[in-house]
Structure 1
Amino acid sequence: MRTVAVLGGGIGGLAASYYLCKSPHVTKVVVVEASSRCGGWLWSTRRADGAVFEHGPRGIRPAGAVGRNTLNMVDDLGLEGEILPVTSSHVASKNRFLYVGGRLHRMPSGISGLLRIVPPFSRPLLLSVAMEILVKKRREEDESIHSFVSRRLGMELADLAVDSLCRGVFAGDCRKLSVRSCFPLLYHAEQRRGSLALGFMLGSGPGPVVPPGPLAQRSIKESWAQWSLRRGVESLPESITDFLQQSGRVELHRDAAVRHVCPSASGWMIHLEDGVISADHIISALPAKALSSALPPSCQLLIQELQDIPTVTVAVVNLEYDGSILPVTGFGHLIPSSEDQGLLGVVYDSVPFPEHNRPDGQTTRLTVMMGGAWFQEEFGAPEMATQEQLLARATEAVRRHLGVMASPIWSRVTLQRDCIPQYYLGHHRRVESMRSFIRKNNLSLSLVGSCYDGVSVNDVIFSGRTAVEQLLGT
């Protein structure tokens, strides 16, 4: 394999490039990024006074094979001294809230929380789990998350907890999202064990094996629930970019949008605004719709499947208040769609990561997330939504939900357009169809990123690793 072109310099494209550089079988890697910066949705603002604000993912989970894989990468990049861990005993891990009926409710945690009735739920959660074992397995190929959870655990959990969770993770509607694609562990637990409880106790099938390196071993020993980096999560793509540039095998093009790609005798010709790049293989980390507009007409079936993957827009409003203004401490609160469709959740950033506060004087940092699958309905077309409108809605939510009457001393509104792909029913079939088309037509093309196999940072990084291993046969 002489030259591999990686289209897209978000975390998926950077991860794929990182793994390519680890192989002696690749001579040259060409990374093409349309914007002036790499990192995609991993985007941090570092103020001159030392405060850090995240405009995308903020805490990364260490659990599972994909979590260990990311920590192994962090270790390899020399970032272990920058890690900010949050343990499972930390108040931000134990206290998570729902805003229901005009007030905050702490989500049940621990055995005592599962055994008793905890508002807004009308019965102990352990009862729902115990009854779930008796629910008959269904053999449908796919099902919405809401249908799956209401069938197995009850309508109340689906309407409140799972509806809110899907809004927090996917900014999406659990009545449309696929349980098989969004929560494959739940789907396979039912299919292979007949029950979620049995699936978690006995395992729901084989998964990827990633031996833990020193940092991942530390995360297990210290029982981390999540982690960030001292200068924000954008430090991760920045460190990967530095690694790539120092490798001597990577050619990095910024401000270089891909116009179209054409098959050639040796692989592909990639047409940019100011030139052409030839490559033996393409790893595309572009958003699905961006790739669809670059492919040749001979890929019409693939183009259509790519265009059929929807995305949602999220308004991220970072707020800073003077003093300690929270009435409760925890990670934050989520809002079910029945309470307020436009508001997805509020993260109490200063609680899990006080190191990101400015060092002089006590302040409180919050992030309000809005829109998602309901953006158009609540705020109109993204291009018509004003920063003033979004800031007003966010500060009003903080006032109403948390009783904060003061005005923020600093704010930033970021409109993340088309930032989270939505895995609707049948998504797994669509992805299988696309990869089948690529194989049958012998296209030297790999698909990585959040549009296909998981939207979390860990999933996206692992998709880059998987694509490289499949390409190189390792």
Structure 2
Amino acid sequence: MNDFLIVGAGISGLTLAWSLHRRGARVRILEAGTTAGGKIRSRLTDGYLSDAGPNSLLDRGEGLSRLIDALDLRGHAVEANPLAQRRYVTRAGRMIALPASPLAFLRTPLFSLRAKLRLLSEPWRGHAETDESVASFVRRRLGPEFLDWAVDPFVSGVYAGDPERLSVRAATGRIYALEAEAGSLFRGALRRARQGRASGPVPQGRLISFRGGVGELPAALASALGSALATNTPVTALRRTDRHWVAETSKGIESGSTLILATPAFVAAELLEPFDLDLATRLRAVEYPGVVSLALGFAREQIRHPLDGFGLLIPRREGCETLGVLFSSTLFPGRAPAGHVLLTAFIGGARNPGAPAHEDAALVARVVQDLQPLLGVIGTPAFSAVNRWPQAIPQYTVGHLERMAMIEQGLAALPDIHAAANWHGGVAVGDCINNALALAERLVPTEAPHGEV
């Protein structure tokens, strides 16, 4: 009998299984797909090393750093090019670097003088008593230009979402916390600066990957778990006996004293519907728009732009379907053959849900057409790889925190069951890792000596 039965081997499930296993627990983790890692996948084709999902990781010295050291991956890690600090946004068809200092902000053409002057009134803007959308929050505190040309593309880059629908408290909690703590974003940022705490919407840390791509991390976790991990093993139904949970799979029966669902919310809903219809309904309310990731390789002379940055975000008001593009071969070494460059573009999301249904050639042509006037693209790509995610990123829409509280109540009413997935607690890989490690600590407080698995 297993102590823990985990359904789903994305980064949350793998991290949780690894941590429980190294604490001496008997763990069985079941994955429906052919490989573990969920949307974290890396592939080397024709000299191009591409990531189908997350393209980088933020090492803040927390759970991710611990995994890297325990899995002996530190020697494989590569830090992003310092140019990654420069991030471009388009306005009126022109690429503009996001200002990285007060002086740069004063000089940037990204925002009008009127928009910059409006910021002087931010400390005296009122605050909402109830949850509101990211768009409503930003308009109220900073004005419409900051929504259109900064926050909208940021939200597209993280969630592929619609700021008119995303919850400011759930989706951009670090920004909302500044208002909640000090009544003002500026006052909150100054207070945190005096306390030595990070105040920006993006956590500080080192942007990293691995020599073989981000996929090296789940591959190492899967290797450490060995026979405890079963792939190609979809769970078709769950049963509860007097003492344990039973999972019915295509390969037979698996059981465990405690069940952990590390699956997307809609998969958890299907499995839990026989036990609690209301709980399943709330889980299905978490939306997952489709996203397509396109790896595009070009000869260096086909791109006029120097590609001297992290990448480019394209606000909705620009009228492009492409959400943004990463300059992948600038960010990390070994991403393209000599004399070539690799771009990773994204299309789809909450405001373009039909994108994944298009043919590969049409998607590549659309992205190249969007990027041609911005990056000076000449001709067609020498290499392309299209990765479809029909249900990609969970959307933390208005009311998300209240919905999560109700889901937690529903799970608590069932015996010995927990959830570990990116539909609550943060969508970033680092958040998933931290949440999984924290859950392992609650379930089995005593850890084995460092390095044992």
In 2, Cα distance between equivalents of 1:442 and 1:35 = 27
Please say if 1:157 is aligned against 2:146.
yes
Partner residue of 1:391 out of 364, 385, 388: 364
Instruction: Quote the offset at 1:339 in angstroms.
Output: 1.3
Q: Which residue of 116, 136, 142 corresponds with 2:126?
A: 136
Match of 1:22 in 2: 22
TM-score by length of 1: 0.87
Q: Which residue of 2 aligns with 1:209?
A: none
Is 1:277 aligned to residue 254 of structure 2? yes
Shift of 1:304: 0.7
Structure 2 residue aligned with 1:462, among 421, 429, 434?
A: 434
Residue 370 (structure 1) aligns with: 347
Contact 1:139/1:191, CA 8 A, preserved across alignment: no
**Contact persistence 2:63–2:437 (CA under 8 A):** no
1:154-303 matches, within 5 Å, as 154-203=143-192, 225-245=206-226, 251-303=228-280
Q: Distance in 2 between matches of 1:431 and 1:257?
A: 25
Counterpart check, 1:56 vs 2:37: no
Structure 1 stretches of 4+ moved >6 Å: none
Q: For residue 79 of structure 1, what is the amino acid of its counterpart?
A: L
User: Cα distance 1:342–1:29, how it changes in 2: closer, same or farther (>3 A)?
Assistant: same
Once the two structures are TM-superposed, the CA of residue 125 in structure 1 deviates from its matched residue by 7.8
Q: Which amino acid in the other structure matches residue 190 of structure 1?
A: E
* Aligned equivalents of 1:101, 1:288: Cα separation in 2: 39
User: What residue identity is the alignment partner of 2:441?
Assistant: E
Give SS of 2:166's match: coil
> What letter is aligned with 2:305?
P
Q: Could you tell me which residue of structure 2 aligns to residue 8 of structure 1?
A: 8
Name 1:210's counterpart in structure 2: none
Is 1:91–1:330's contact at 8 Å kept on the other side of the alignment?
A: yes
Residues 107-162 of structure 1, C-alpha deviations (whole Å, 9 max, x = no match): 11123212x2412210388755543222223322x111111111111111012210
For residues 92-111 of structure 1, what are the structure 2 equivalents within 5 Å?
A: 92-93=84-85, 95-111=86-102
Determine whether 1:327 maps to 2:312. no
Letter in 2 for 1:40: G
CA contact (8 A) 2:291 2:347 kept: yes
1:84 to 68, 78, 82: 78
Report if the CA contact (8 A) 1:133-1:195 is conserved.
yes
Contact 1:260 1:296 (C-alpha < 8 Å) held by counterparts: no
Structure 1 residue 473: Cα displacement: 5.0
Q: Which residue in the other structure is 1:429 paired with?
A: 402
Change (3 A) 1:326 1:14: farther
Local SS of the residue matching 2:392: strand
Structure-2 separation of matches of 1:58 and 1:125: 33
Cα distance change on mapping 1:447 and 1:326 into 2, 3 Å: farther
Q: How many residues align?
A: 437
State the partner residue of 2:330: 351
Q: Partner letter of residue 54 of structure 1? A: D
Quick check: 2:2–2:255 contact (8 Å CA) kept in 1?
A: no
Specify whether residues 126 and 242 from structure 1 end up closer, same or farther in structure 2 by C-alpha distance, changes over 3 A only: farther
Paired letter, 2:41: W
- Give the alignment's TM-score, normalised by structure 2: 0.91
In structure 2, the residue matched to 1:409 is 382
Secondary structure of the corresponding residue to residue 37 of structure 2: coil
Aligned partner of residue 19 in structure 2, secondary structure: helix
**Whole-Å Cα distance in 2 between the matches of residues 289 and 152 of structure 1?**
35
How many Å separate the matches in 2 of 1:334 and 1:62?
Answer: 22
Q: Structure 1 residues 91, 450: closer, same or farther in 2, change over 3 A?
A: same
- Cα distance between partner residues in 2 of 1:430 and 1:362: 51
Report the residue type matching 1:327 in the other structure. H
The alpha-carbon distance between structure 1 residues 22 and 97, as it changes in their structure 2 partners (threshold 3 A), is same
Checking the alignment, whether the CA contact within 8 Å between 1:263 and 1:269 is kept in structure 2 is yes
Secondary structure in 1 matching 2:228: strand
Q: Distance in 2 between matches of 1:341 and 1:143?
A: 27
Change over 3 Å in CA distance of 1:135–1:232 after alignment to 2: same
Change (3 A) 1:409 1:176: same
- The one-letter code matched in structure 2 to 1:385 is H
Residue equivalent to 1:443: 415
* Structure 2 gaps, min length 5: 196-202, 447-453
Instruction: Report the aligned-residue RMSD.
Output: 2.3
Worse overlay, 290-299 or 163-172 = 290-299
Separation in 2, partners of 1:47, 1:333:
24
Q: Percent identity?
A: 29
Name the CA distance, whole Å, in 1 between partners of 2:93 and 2:320.
14
Distance in 1 (alpha carbons) for counterparts of 2:68 and 2:114: 40
Counterparts of 2:182 and 2:399 in 1: how far apart (Å)?
Answer: 22
Moved more, 368-377 or 253-262: 368-377
Deviation at 1:342, TM superposition (A): 2.0
AA at the equivalent of 1:97? Y
Distance 1:259 1:412 in 2: 32
Partner of 2:42: 44
Q: Which runs of 5+ in 1 are unaligned?
A: 207-219
1:417-467 C-alpha deviation (Å, 9 max, x unpaired): 20101110010111111111222x242111111111111000111121122
- Quick one: distance in 1 between partners of 2:296 and 2:384? 5
Change (3 A) 1:305 1:165: same
Amino acid at match of 1:412: A
Task: Write the distance in 1 (CA, Å) between the matches of 2:255 and 2:66.
Answer: 32
